[in-house]
Structure 1
Amino acid sequence: MNKILRAFKQLLLPLFFISLFILFSCVKEESPVNPYSGQKGDVMGTVTTTNNTALHGSKVSIGELVTYTDDKGRFFLRNAPAGERVLVNFTSDNYASTQKVVTVLPDRTTVVDASMLLVGTTQTIGSSGGAVLFSGAKVEFPANSFIDSKGNSFNGAALVKATFFDPANSAFYGCFPGEFKGVRTDNSETQIESYGFIQVEIMNGSEKLNLAAGKTATITLPISTKQSATAPATIPLWYYDETAGKWREQGTASKVGNNYVGSVSHFSNWNCDQPTQTSYLHGRVVDQSGNPIFFASVFSEGIDYTGSSRVNTDEEGYFKLAVKSASNAKVWASIHIFSSATQNIATPPTGETSEIGDFVITIDSTNICIIIGRVIDNGDLPVSNMNVRQLDSTGKSLAYVLTGQDGNFLFYGKLNTKYKFEINYFAYDSSGKISIERTTPSSPETLDLGDIKIDIGGAIVKGRVVDSLSVPLPNINVYSTEGGSNQGREYRTDSLGKFSLWVRPNKSFKIYLSGKNQQSKSIDAESGDLGSTKDLGDIILP
């Protein structure tokens, strides 16, 4: 048993969940020094629609690091910059974009999921202005109100994309950009409770437009039925600052009937948020022998309010969980397949911290076993950094790990239980997937899956990315819908604008290119025979 408990403490669990919202009240906004500057970690997760269907081909990016989701909605970003507030962007055709704020630790994997909502409506607005209606919400534009990205007046027909996000929607938290806290006009930070938000994009082709100086638009947001009884007469308006990953207070909206109505001077996401007060719950997560558990996830969920939070325990098993003050919340802890009992906690008054003691996670060593294996290539050499997934008998994902330098991986499982293990070394479809099903033994012994061989033979497609004047463009992200990056091949142009992609032989596929200032392009390509190299020549971006 002690061997297994030690393994739990030492195993690099990829299922790290950082807080959905970190709730600090009356704390001044700061720009802290990144303690992990120059270090790298990995980010993975799943993107779904609001009805929980996998969203294939969504673009996921951190700065200039870009990938796309596979047919299961999954993504993996290797060598992301480590930091306490890393911004992960999610975009997809016909869907409203979102952004998540995560902590990426050096040499570890952070998991972050997102939900995406179909754009509510698209409508053309001319120079005379007009109103856009969508899902009970409304935006009214005055005449001659738009400017282009250079600040010049725009007098043509603009395409407006508008979406309303209803707090009553079960996927609201998955769609919500950033965290459930905001920066007030006095620069203090506060917990916020959303009464709904809108996303409005004003486009001229691929160019984003905005409101001209001195122009304002009137926005109307419907109040959800579940919040109508608590909706205040006036409520602060907040816009989302995508550069900082923060909501910022600017203006107010008034309650008119069952709607909030206010005026805004620019567009991004606009949110009706009521500042709320914060208190804290302090405790510890231990196993059944009283040993602290490092990086256990601790969750809260409001009983009499709409809100949730998550944190991870420190090396001594302690946590400090931010919650809405003077309220009631459900709190529990988990690590991998094991969870503590759920406790209903009365949260303390504003600013105070309640000691809530130990949450015990029983790691039943009599009912679990260690599962190991190794991934090798067709030359019998170990393959490192390969994504391996553990699923239950229904196909539900339980855990992801990356193979080590020796190709090895490790999972835990309950005894006498069937699991599936998947290795998918191509990006977009299942043709590169290896699936293994095994039933764990009936006694707590190690299940060895042995060597799993993958055929990573392929072809190379190369090219050069240039601008309209044939000047090479370095640091352009290049991604194909074939191939994988487990062999350390970089998907970014070099100083001469050149790239080289490893893909499957004799296949038709798309290559996506993206760079600074939202430059993007996709092209159709074909690979040659096994072991061949095909030169696509110069590709002009945009």
Structure 2
Amino acid sequence: MSLLLNIKNVFALTAVLFLFTACGGGGGSASSTTATTVSTSPSTIETTTPTAKAVHSGQVKDSSTGDGLANVKVSLGESTTTTDENGFYTLSDLTASEEAVINFEKEGYLLGSTQIQLKALSGDNTTSPNYLEYSMHTNNYQWDYNSSDEIDGAHIMIDASVSYRDINGKPYSGTNTAELIYFDITSDEGKAVFPGAFKGINSNGTLVQFDTYGLISILLEDSNGNRLRLAEGETVALRFDKVSSLEKPDTLPLWYYDYEQGLWFEEGYAELQEDGTYKGEISHLGSWSLNRPLEDEAGIYRGRIINEDGSPMSDVRVHAVGENWIGSDLTTDENGMFEINVIPGSSFQLKAYDYKNKYGANYNGTIAAIASGKIVEE
């Protein structure tokens, strides 16, 4: 069966998603693509396998205006550069990787982070096949307060007795500048700014997929614009808005995002309140999310992207987008094949983007939910 994709920003090419006939039935093992046990020690977690050198380029844009953003710090491992006046950047002499983590930082904007695939250069190629277009969102909720004041806002509660440390680890008192942003993850905007992938390391040290109930980013700076942190043993409370369309368990795990590793880590939990919100305490600042880890095996969706002439389309990024999660295949292979882990029991839509030719496509329709451990190849 062939399913037609609607093209956005098409040049002259029509993409077709071809779902091929299942081989081996619908109950195949998913052991190679589900939870993987890894060490909880940040220094020993490995998500990439070095192979060869690659070059990566892209453009960073403002999410509201669509304009290119100048002077964005772009970092991938030890490689760092800054975008030009139109938001373009290039990073050279990189190590090829299946899951490289690239970060974006600019004053006044929410920290950005995403995973990309870096393929080695071949033939006459001068750039990585994974050209990236990334949108950054303004961090427009900012206020100043005295460090000895109590804060009781919509999404954060800080007691007046909380103490802080500066970049040198010394006690700090004075004016704090707070930057806080909250996203409803069921919205398109919330999914777009979610750092990394919808997976992370749980409290048992296992890499698991999850769906999410919200994202909060909180940063504090001193009067000179330097980052502050909470003193050891201090906590602040976060409150996540209720999402009426989602289930409401009594507790949900809290997770923080490690920008260097590009991974989420479970730490603590939040409790359901009478008004439907969730409240939990954190011991350090940064980006936090309220996630429900996948307890059962993921469902697996396999397919193929072909050109209208029937030729396979390689290096196309494919996403399965659920109500509050995204599953991704970073790029299709040389035969146009992709495979995506999906949340079992949750329907989803398909989106694809060709980073070499810079156009995207959405499948007009919703893919029915896949049961845990099942493989669908229609």
How far apart are residue 223 of structure 1 and its match?
2.3
- Which of the residues 299, 315, 323 maps onto 2:334? 315
- How far does residue 37 in structure 1 lie from its aligned partner after superposition? 4.9
Q: Is 2:356 the counterpart of 1:325?
A: no
Amino acid at match of 1:28: T
User: Structure 1 residues 119, 69: CA separation in 2 closer, same or farther (over 3 Å shift)?
Assistant: farther
Please tell me whether residue 166 in structure 1 is matched to residue 184 in structure 2.
yes
Q: Structure 1 residue 50: deviation in Å?
A: 4.1
Distance 1:207 1:344, change over 3 A: closer
- Deviation of 1:169 after TM superposition, in Å, equals 4.3
Q: 1:293 touches 1:315 (CA, 8 Å); kept in 2?
A: yes
Residue of structure 2 aligned with 1:268, choices 286, 290, 298 = 286
Q: Which moved more, 1:143-152 or 1:172-181?
A: 143-152
Aligned residues: 326
Residue in structure 2 matched with residue 237 of structure 1 by the alignment: 254
Query: What do the CA deviations read for 1:463-494 (whole angstroms, capped 9, x no partner)?
Result: xxxxxxxxxxxxxxxxxxxxxxxxxxxxxxxx
Structure 1, unpaired ranges of 5+: 1-22, 357-542
Q: Which residue of 2 aligns with 1:280?
A: 300
1:214 counterpart SS class: coil
For 2:143, the equivalent position in structure 1 comes to: 122
Quote the offset at 1:194 in angstroms.
Answer: 2.1
CA distance in 1, matches of 2:362, 2:195: 30
- Match 2:85 to one of 51, 70, 79: 70
- Work out the CA distance in 2 between the residues paired with 1:224 and 1:153: 38
SS in 1 for 2:191: helix
Instruction: State the AA in 2 paired with 1:55.
Output: L
Task: Please give the secondary structure, in 1, of the residue aligned with 2:367.
Answer: strand
- Per-residue CA deviation, residues 300-341 of structure 1 (Å, 9 max, x unaligned), is 233xx3333342222233321221212222346675569696
Q: Give, in whole Å, the separation in 2 of the partners of 1:98 and 1:297.
A: 19
- 8 A Cα contact 1:165 1:196, kept in partner: yes
User: Which structure has the larger Rg over C-alpha atoms?
Assistant: 1
Please report the RMSD computed on the Cα atoms of aligned residues, expressed in angstroms: 3.0
1:294 to 300, 314, 321: 314
The whole-number CA distance in structure 1 between the counterparts of 2:188 and 2:310 is: 37
Q: Relative to 1, partners in 2 of residues 1:262 and 1:298: Cα closer, same or farther, differing over 3 Å?
A: closer
CA distance in 1, matches of 2:326, 2:319: 7
Aligned-pair distance for 1:249? 0.5
- Alpha-carbon deviations, 1:26-68, whole Å to 9, x = none? 3223634844356232131332234645434433233342112
**Structure 1 counterpart of 2:263:** 246
> Is the partner of 2:249 in helix, strand or coil?
coil
Show the counterpart of 1:26: 35
Match of 1:48 among 55, 62, 68: 62
Question: In 2, Cα distance between the equivalents of 1:171 and 1:178?
Answer: 15
Q: State the Cα distance separating 1:262 from its structure 2 match.
A: 0.7
Aligned to 1:172, the other structure's residue is in SS state: helix
Q: Paired residue for 2:197, among 173, 176, 179?
A: 179
Residue 16 (structure 2) aligns with: none
In structure 1, the residue matched to 2:26 is none
CA apart distance, 1:148: 2.5
Q: Distance in 2 between matches of 1:283 and 1:308?
A: 16
Are 1:59 and 1:69, in contact at CA under 8 Å, matched by a contact in 2?
no
Q: 1:246 Cα shift?
A: 0.7
The SS at the match of 1:174 is: helix
Shift of 1:77: 3.3
Q: Which residue of 1 aligns with 2:374?
A: 352
Contact 1:279 1:323 in 2 (8 A): yes
Give the conservation status (yes or no) of the 8 Å contact 1:211–1:267: yes
Counterparts in 2 of 1:316 and 1:119: CA distance versus 1, 3 Å = same
Query: Taking structure 2 as the reference length, what is the TM-score of the superposition?
Result: 0.75
Larger mean CA deviation between 89-98 and 176-185 belongs to 89-98
Find the aligned partners of 2:310 and 2:187 in 1 and give their Cα distance: 40
Seen in structure 2, the aligned counterparts of structure 1 residues 296 and 175 have a Cα distance that, compared at 3 Å, is closer
Rounded to whole Å, the distance in 1 between the matches of 2:361 and 2:180 is: 41
Q: What is the CA–CA distance in structure 2 between the aligned matches of 1:295 and 1:317, rounded to whole Å?
A: 8
Q: Does the aligned pair in 2 maintain the 1:239–1:250 contact within 8 Å? A: yes
Q: Structure 2: where are the runs of 5+ without partners?
A: 1-31, 40-44, 122-127
Percent identical pairs in the alignment equals 22
Aligned to 2:13: none
> Which residue identity lines up with residue 37 of structure 2 in the other structure?
K
d(CA) in 2 for partners of 1:265, 1:340: 41
Which of residues 102, 115, 130 is equivalent to 1:110? 130
1:514-535 CA-to-partner distances (Å, cap 9, x unmatched) read: xxxxxxxxxxxxxxxxxxxxxx
| Deviation readout 1:126-171 (Å, 9 max, x if unpaired) | 2x341152xx322313414212234333233333222222325432
Amino acid at match of 2:377: E
Q: Within 5 A, what are the aligned runs for 1:392-407?
A: none
Partners of 1:164 and 1:333 in 2: CA distance = 27
Closer, same or farther: CA 123–25 of 1 in aligned 2, 3 Å: farther
